[in-house]
Structure 1
């Protein structure tokens, strides 16, 4: 489930950043989902590493 949420955040962030010609500076809010996705993927990696040993 975390992986799916991370992928969704990446797609949403890229879509928002791609809409810069239409929305102007408001599209920079696309950085928030990308930061969230990075946090999700980092957390998943840490959880998997701690579960293995």
Structure 2
């Protein structure tokens, strides 16, 4: 068993299941930073908002 927030797929840990890549020119709503080449979000739906335009 892993501690909360550790283990599992990178996309889930980053709250970025679509694996949106980080770009310093973008400041996506809900984005909290980066983990390697991928964006991190405050909530998991943040990545879906970008794609769906909600």
* Band the TM-score falls in, shorter-chain normalisation: under 0.3
The structure with higher relative contact order (CA 8 Å, sep 6+) is: 1
Larger Rg: 1
Higher strand share: 2
Higher helix share: 1
